[in-house]
Amino acid sequence: MKNLKKFAGKYDFSLDKKQAWGHYRSYQFTIGHYEENRNIVTIYTGLTFENSDNKEKLDSILEAMLAAKEIQNYENDGGSLTITKSRTFGPISLAEIEKLMDHLVDEFNKIDAKPACFNCNNEGTKEFANYNNVAMTMCSTCYNTISNTINEVIVEQEYIDNNYGMGTLGAILGALLGSVVWIIIGLLGYIVAVAGLAIFAAATKGYMLFKGKINHTSLWIIGLVSFVALIIAQFITLDILVYKELISEGYDVSFLDTLKLTFELPFIDSEIAIAFIMDTIVGLVFAGLGAYGAFKKLIFEAKTPAGSLQWL
C-alpha cells in the first residue's frame, strides 16, 4: 500500500484504504490491493473503440503482455478492462506501477481507445463511483439504473423471512462436515489456518443452503456454531489419538469408552487440561486467521445485501 500511496501522491489520484483512482495521461484508472496478499495489484479502466476490430487488437496486446509475464491475468469485457499484476516476493514498486501504466496508455493510444463508462462503455470522461467497494468510472444512466436495482432488492429482502431454525441446522451440519478436515489435519500433527476456514466456510454454506438469510444475527449463529464445532473436533482428535495409543499398548478398550475418557481427562488431570486448552487456543488463533477474510466478506454482505453504490 505504501507504493500505491506514493503513486497517488505523485499523480494526484484520490485514495482510500485499498485503492487509488484518477486520471493518468488522458485515461481514467483505478489501482488497488483487493486481495489479502498485498503483492497483488489490480487495475480497472473503461474503454470504447470507434473501430470494433480494435477490441480484438487489445486482446492480442494483453495476451502478449501475459506471455511476457508483465501482467498475470486480465479480463476484457467489451472494453471494461481488469488487469492483475503480482510478485512472488515483496510489494510491487512505484517504478513497476508506472512502467505498466505507461505501457498500457501507449498501447491504448495506438488502437485509438477512448475512456468510457466501465459498466456500459459509453464514451467520455466519467465520474468515479464506489460500486461494491471498487472505484470505477460510471455514467449517470448506469448509476441510476444500478441504484434503483439495489433499492428494489433491499425492499424485497425486507419481506423475506429469515428461517433461523433451518439455517442453524444447516450451519451445524456444515460445520460438522468441515470439522472432518480439522480432525484429519490434527491427526497428522498439524494445526493450519485452512482447517479453521473449512469449518467456517462449511457452516456458512450450510446456513445458506437451508434457506438462512445472511444478516447480523446469522453472523453470530455461524460464528458460535463454528466455535463449538472446533471444540468438538479438538476433543475427537484427542480421542482418536488416545484410542490409538491405548490399543498400541495392548489395552482392550472400545472407541466409545475412550471417547468418554477423553471428555473426562481435561477435567481430572491438570496437565492434560493445560495441554488441551493451549492446543485449543492455538487452534482458535489459526482458525481465526483462516476465517478472517471470509468473515469480513460476510459482514459486508450483511450490511449491504444488495450491494453498495455511491458517487466518489
104-108, 159-163, 227-231, 274-278: lowest mean pLDDT where?
A: 159-163
Looking at every residue in the chain, the average pLDDT score rounds to 85
Q: Look-up: residue for cell 460438522?
A: 176
pLDDT in tens, 231-277: 888 888 888 888 888 888 877 777 777 777 777 766 676 776 777 77
Residues 129/143, Cβ–Cβ less than 8 Å: yes
State percent of the chain over pLDDT 70. Answer: 91
Is the entire prediction scored with pTM above 0.85?
A: no
In the chain, what are the domain boundaries? 2-154, 164-303
* Matching residue, cell 477435567: 267
pLDDT digits (tens, 9 = 90+) for 2-58: 889 999 999 999 999 899 999 999 999 999 998 777 789 999 999 999 887 888 899
Can you name the residues that pair with 27 across neighbouring β-strands? 24
Cell numbers standing for residue 211: 434457506
Q: For the chain, first and last CA: distance in Å?
A: 20
Is residue 304 scored above 70 in pLDDT? no
> Within 10 A of 178 (CB to CB), how many other CB atoms are there?
25
Q: Which fold has domain 2-154?
A: Yope Regulator; Chain: A, (3.30.1460)
